[in-house]
């Protein structure tokens, strides 16, 4: 956890005033991958790593942001529409969020922001959603604009679509905003209804292995996958009236008509249809404490992402396979997030934890020449203000 006092002191040194403090965590998804933008189901949790924003209002409408990670300062004026436009740097997420919030009706005030994060960038753990949501929460709170959690979520997604250029779904911003400690969230990405599912980590730990690679294609391939799914819906709706998203297609309905779909659209759709079922079944199995079933579903999810959806890569496959072949101590393992690099998520028995970390590090290092980053996490809370009283 980032030390709160350090943030307050650093803000005071840089801006000469007392700030308010806000936070938003990163996330990891247990199962339900590439289903969110198909109106389907996901099962992510907020992790303990987080982005902190210390903030105070200004009298004008300028946003001045200072990144402590990069020791860089940048800013924009809310009254200059479009500002500098997309810069391809971290400020885009802050500016994209501010402009989305204003376009959705919030009236913001100028502010000084100090940002510090321990969510690794490019690891598939939603460092961008954490930045968007923490900055959005800071800006709306300082302006006294009453924006509820879901509105913040939608503004974050809009920032990605219009400012950053990734046509992402709703999962990341949703769980980053509204995650619940000790729980994963089963999110229905069509209705935006979320059901907390208890995660008991006393005996089984959640382990993230960051491959420390991020392949170039990730953003363009992501948008291509999304378009392929939409094409699949168009074609399937000729046979299955009323289908508007892959979420509406049952496994049986799909089997009946899949032969009408060209490749690779057939395989893309098959992944999504089956992954939705897996996410629902995994949530159910977790509630029942049936970890063996959860592990089985995680493995099938990975295989489907690798073979049908084709968003895995050699590094993620290696991490997942090493975990699968580890034996009893590993309940399940799969790639998590958009793919093409980033991380895997594994459920590992606490008794085997140290040995597992050693094994996966050694095996990966042997094959790749560098070590993965391994994080053990619990499910934490979503975004919020950190008041002096709540500081530990």
Binding residues for ligand GLA (CB under 6 A): 33-34, 36-37, 168-169, 171-172, 337-338
Instruction: List Cα–Cα distances, 347 to 29, 46, 140, in angstroms.
Output: 12, 15, 37
Distance in angstroms (rounded) separating the CA atoms of residues 154 and 136: 11
Q: How far is the CB of 33 from ligand GLA (least distance, A)?
A: 4
**172 carries an active-site annotation:** yes
Q: Closer to ligand GLA at the Cβ: 172 or 210?
A: 172
Q: How far is the CB of 93 from ligand GLA (least distance, A)?
A: 13
Distance in angstroms (rounded) separating the CA atoms of residues 51 and 385: 12
Distance in angstroms (rounded) separating the CA atoms of residues 84 and 106: 21
Distance in angstroms (rounded) separating the CA atoms of residues 43 and 39: 13
Angle between helices 265-288 and 218-236 (to 10 degrees): 100
- Alpha carbons within 13 angstroms on the beta-carbon side of residue 277 total 12
Q: Closer to ligand GLA at the Cβ: 111 or 316?
A: 316
Q: Closer to ligand GLA at the Cβ: 22 or 37?
A: 37
Catalytic hit among 36, 92, 172, 248: 172
Q: How far is the CB of 339 from ligand GLA (least distance, A)?
A: 7
Instruction: List Cα–Cα distances, 324 to 136, 190, 275, 345, 346, in angstroms.
Output: 40, 33, 19, 12, 9
Shortest CA distance to 309 belongs to which of 253, 228, 242? 228
Q: How far is the CB of 153 from ligand GLA (least distance, A)?
A: 11
Q: Closer to ligand GLA at the Cβ: 108 or 335?
A: 335
- Per the CB < 8 A criterion, the answer to whether 329 and 318 are in contact is no
Count the helix, strand and coil residues of the chain and give each as a percent rounded to the nearest 5. 45, 25, 30
Distance in angstroms (rounded) separating the CA atoms of residues 196 and 203: 20
> Is the N-terminal amide bond of 278 cis, ω within 30° of 0?
no
Q: How far is the CB of 144 from ligand GLA (least distance, A)?
A: 30
Helix (H) or strand (E) holding 41: strand 41-42
Q: How far is the CB of 343 from ligand GLA (least distance, A)?
A: 11
3-state secondary structure of 195: strand
Question: The tokens of 269 are what?
Answer: 């759709």
Q: Closer to ligand GLA at the Cβ: 151 or 275?
A: 275
Using CA atoms of 335, 268, 166, 46 in order, give the dihedral in degrees to the nearest 10. Answer: -40
Q: Closer to ligand GLA at the Cβ: 19 or 338?
A: 338
3-state secondary structure of 194: strand
Q: How far is the CB of 32 from ligand GLA (least distance, A)?
A: 7
Q: Closer to ligand GLA at the Cβ: 74 or 320?
A: 320
Which active-site residues does the annotation give?
Answer: 172
């Amino acid at each position: 956890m980032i030390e709160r006092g350090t943030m307050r002191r650093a803000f005071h040194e840089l801006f000469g005033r007392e700030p308010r403090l806000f936070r938003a965590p990163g996330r990891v998804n247990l199962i339900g991958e590439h289903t969110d933008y198909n109106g389907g189901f996901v099962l992510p949790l907020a992790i303990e790593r987080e982005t902190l924003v210390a903030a105070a209002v200004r009298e004008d409408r300028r946003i001045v942001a200072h990144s402590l990670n990069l020791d860089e300062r940048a800013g924009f004026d809310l009254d200059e529409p479009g500002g500098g436009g997309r810069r391809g740097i971290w400020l885009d997420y802050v500016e994209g969020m501010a402009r989305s919030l204003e376009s959705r009706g919030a009236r913001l005030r100028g502010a000084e922001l100090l940002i510090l994060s321990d969510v690794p960038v490019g690891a598939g753990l939603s460092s961008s959603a954490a930045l968007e949501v923490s900055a959005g929460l800071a800006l709306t709170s300082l302006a006294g604009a009453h924006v509820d959690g879901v509105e913040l979520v939608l503004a974050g997604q809009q920032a990605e679509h219009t400012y950053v250029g990734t046509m992402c779904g709703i999962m990341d911003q949703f769980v980053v905003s509204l995650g619940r400690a000790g729980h994963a969230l089963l999110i229905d990405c069509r209705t935006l209804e979320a059901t907390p599912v208890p995660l008991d980590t006393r005996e089984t730990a959640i382990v993230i292995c960051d491959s420390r690679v991020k392949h170039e294609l990730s953003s363009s391939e992501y948008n291509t996958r999304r378009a392929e799914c939409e094409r699949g819906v168009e074609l399937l709706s000729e046979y299955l009236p009323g289908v508007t998203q892959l979420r509406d297609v049952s496994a049986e309905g799909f089997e009946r008509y899949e032969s009408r779909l060209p490749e690779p659209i057939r395989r893309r759709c098959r992944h999504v249809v089956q992954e939705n079922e897996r996410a629902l079944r995994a949530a159910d199995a977790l509630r029942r404490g049936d970890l063996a079933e959860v592990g089985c579903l995680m493995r099938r999810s990975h295989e489907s992402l690798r073979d049908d959806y084709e968003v895995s890569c050699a590094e993620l496959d290696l991490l997942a396979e090493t975990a699968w072949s580890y034996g009893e101590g590993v309940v399940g393992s799969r790639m998590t997030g958009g793919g093409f690099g980033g991380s895997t998520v594994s459920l590992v028995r606490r008794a085997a934890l140290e040995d597992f970390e050693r094994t996966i590090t050694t095996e990966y290092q042997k094959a790749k020449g560098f070590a993965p980053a391994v994080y053990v996490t619990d499910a934490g809370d979503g975004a919020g203000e950190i008041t002096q009283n709540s500081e530990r």
